[in-house]
Structure 1
């Protein structure tokens, strides 16, 4: 191959890679591929005591609302393990991890001790529903009905919390993660037994 052809091929490959990384949908597929090979494992470590126990969910008036207008008060979920994912339709890492959350949800949806709140932070119900239908995801989508505590959402999405039966944060993960992993469902099931 002559030097001019090599340069054209190299530049073409470079442009394709840049486009894949910059185009939101392509970036989500790229991130999903990285998740499949074992990257982006969620942190299942308990936050520091001051972070987790300083803010007990059931002691505050935190609520979420779904498309049917039903309001879920966190205080009413005492005695349940709650998986909360904060996301937005414009967020490529949120889009990339959503199928893994759907897998986890399907695995645990019949467990009466586990509640899933997939919270679209912008309150964009039309966009959220279009996204879920387009991706063929059957997840319980909610929207903020009160202020979201800074202990839960510090500004980075996606952010995922797993809250124990007493309303204490068991784990908090900011950024993309693969929630379809067996250790995540095992972690949640173990919390239902405590």
Structure 2
């Protein structure tokens, strides 16, 4: 009687993929791997942040708008537990990014946000990387430290305002010095571009 010899070639491709994803999920590496894959998509330039629609607006025009300030009464806390009022940032351009450690697209875009943060370097521009992780800030702090990110990271200390509610994360808002949302990007994007840097710096003047 002939005995069939075992060979990996006989294993269906779907079974191998299932096993690989199962291993990644079990080890917690699936988020990181998917994030790296999506980072390659960002590198193509196909997902650049779109700010040209509102780039023609001037601070004077925005100030005269009837739209109220975004996030009134909203409280945040930094990774050391210190509370910060969102309203305390009024007068600055705010780059608000809502993200989570379990979100692959969030992880994919973070390096380019870090690069943007380093390049615009202005005390008139505030970065608010708002983590919506449900667990303690220790997990978020560990993640940020491991990645070497230096942009300011916060967690909600009160209910997230309705104007910052989005069906997807990451979501990014650019808020004028007058406190009005002037750009919104749902989903991941490449932010370290001349267009975004120029937009932020013009708003900050």
Pick the TM interval, shorter chain: 0.7 to 0.9
Q: Distance in 2 between matches of 1:53 and 1:37?
A: 39
Is 1:42 the counterpart of 2:54? The answer is: no
Q: Distance in 1 between matches of 2:149 and 2:191?
A: 15
Q: Deviations over 1:17-37 (max 9, x none)?
A: x85xx8322211111111111
Runs of 4+ deviating beyond 4 Å: none
Asked whether the equivalents of residues 79 and 141 of structure 2 are also in contact (C-alpha less than 8 Å), the reply is no
Matches within 5 A, 1:1-194: 11=13, 15=17, 19=21, 23-44=30-51, 45-46=53-54, 54-57=67-70, 60-109=72-121, 111-122=122-133, 124-193=136-205
Structure 1: which 5+ residue stretches go unaligned?
Answer: 1-6
- CA shift, 1:53, in A, is 5.5
TM-score normalised by length of structure 1: 0.81
More deviation, 134-143/67-76: 67-76
Structure 2: which 5+ residue stretches go unaligned?
Answer: 1-8, 55-61
Taking a change above 3 Å as real, the CA distance of residues 80 and 145 of structure 1, as seen in their structure-2 partners, is: same
Q: Secondary structure at the match of 1:85?
A: strand
How many residues align structurally?
A: 181
Asked whether the equivalents of residues 53 and 168 of structure 1 are also in contact (C-alpha less than 8 Å), the reply is no
- CA shift, 1:79, in A, is 1.2
TM-score normalised by length of structure 2: 0.77
Asked whether the equivalents of residues 55 and 151 of structure 1 are also in contact (C-alpha less than 8 Å), the reply is no
- CA shift, 1:168, in A, is 0.4
Q: Deviations over 1:96-134 (max 9, x none)?
A: 11111100111123x110111111112531111111122
